[in-house]
Amino acid sequence: MLTNLNEVLPQARKEGYAVPAFDCIEDFMIRTILDTAEKKKSPVILMSLRHDLEGKGFSYIAGLINKVAPEYDIPIVLHLDHAENFEFIKQAIDNGFTSVMYDGSKLPFEENIKNTKEIVDYAHTKGVTVEAELGHVGGMKLDGSREGDSQLTRAEDVKIFIEKTGVDALAVSIGTAHGVYESEPELNIERLKEINEISSIPLVLHGGSGTPVEQVQESIKNGIAKINIFADLRISMYKGLLEAAKKAEQEGRIDPTPDVLFEPIRNSLSDAVAGKIEDLFADNRV
Ligand SMILES: [Zn+2]
C-alpha cells in the first residue's frame, strides 16, 4: 500500500531499524525492488530524481508505482529525491508522490529554513511528508562531476531548524558521500549521537552505498531511520548485465531468450536489495 514517511520512519526509529530508500530509474527496478521487499516483509521507500521524471517520466515511474502499490501488503513510500525547485515539487505532488525531499543544503541556514518551511506548509495540506537536509553531503554526481565538499551537520542548528520548518525527517551529514567512495568513509558517530539527542524527528543517511555495514548499523542504533541507496544497485545490475552477456554468448544465439537477457540482472538486483534490507534490520517488520 502507498503511504508517506510518517507512517514508516517513527516506528523504525523506535524499534531500531532503518527503512531502505532506493532510487529507481526503470520499471524493471520498481518491480524487482517491490517483489523483493514484499518477500522480506520490509517497508520500502522508492525514490526518483528529477532527471528521470522529466518528459513522460512522471507517468512511467509515479504512474506505475501508484498503480501497483495497492497490490502489495508492505508500506511503500513514493519519495522525490533531492529537489531544489518548488514548482517541480508541486508537480511531483500532483503526480502522486507521497513524500518529497527539499534540498536547500547548499543555501545559507536562514534561507534553507525559509524555503523548507514554505514547502512543508504546502506539502502538509496535501498529506505529503517532507525531508530536508542540514549540513551538506557531497561526493560524486551521476555525470561523474564532483558535488561541493561535505559539511558536517552542526548539532546546535538542528533544534531550531526542526522547530522553525516543521519538517518530518532530516538528512544529516556525518561523513558519508554520494556515489562510489574513493577511500573508506569514517562516520562521525559522536556527532550523530549529539544530533539524535536533540532531534524530535527521524534522521536520514544519504550516500548509503559502499559504507561499511558495521558503520551503517552503528548509525541506525543512533537514530538513522532511512538510508538512501543507489550506487550499490547500479553496481549489482552491472554485474548481472555482464553475466547476461556471457550467458547469451554461451547460448550462441543473436536473439537471446528473455530469461537469458533479464534473469541475471533481476537476480543480481534482488540479491542486493535483500542484502540491504537485512543489513538495515528491516526484514520481518510488516
Ligand atoms: Zn542524496
Query: At residue 83, what are phi and psi to the nearest 5 degrees?
Result: -100, 140
Q: Say if strands 169-172 and 99-102 run parallel, antiparallel, or are unpaired.
A: unpaired
Q: What is the mean pLDDT of residues 192-206?
A: 97
Query: At residue 174, what are phi and psi to the nearest 5 degrees?
Result: -130, 25
The distance of Cα 256 from the centroid of its chain, to the nearest Å, equals 34
Q: Give me 34's grid cell.
A: 517491490
For the cut 80, the answer to whether the pLDDT of residue 37 exceeds it is: yes
Compute, in angstroms, the gap from residue 217 CA to the centroid of ligand 1: 18
Q: Determine the pLDDT at residue 138.
A: 87
Compute, in angstroms, the gap from residue 247 CA to the centroid of ligand 1: 35
pLDDT in tens, 69-118: 999 999 999 999 999 999 999 999 999 999 999 999 999 999 999 999 99
Parse the chain into domains and list their residue ranges. Answer: 2-231
Q: Which residues are catalytic?
A: 81
Q: Which CATH number fits domain 2-231: 3.10.580.10, 1.25.40.10, 3.20.20.70, 3.30.70.420?
A: 3.20.20.70
Q: Determine the pLDDT at residue 143.
A: 78
Q: Determine the pLDDT at residue 101.
A: 98
For the cut 90, the answer to whether the pLDDT of residue 226 exceeds it is: yes
pLDDT in tens, 107-141: 999 999 999 999 999 999 999 999 999 999 988 88
For the cut 90, the answer to whether the pLDDT of residue 231 exceeds it is: yes
Q: Contact at 8 Å (CB) between 3 and 46?
A: no
Compute, in angstroms, the gap from residue 131 CA to the centroid of ligand 1: 11
Compute, in angstroms, the gap from residue 211 CA to the centroid of ligand 1: 14
Cβ-Cβ contacts under 8 Å for 224 (sequence gap 6 or more): 18, 192, 203, 204, 205
pLDDT in tens, 261-282: 999 999 999 999 999 999 999 9
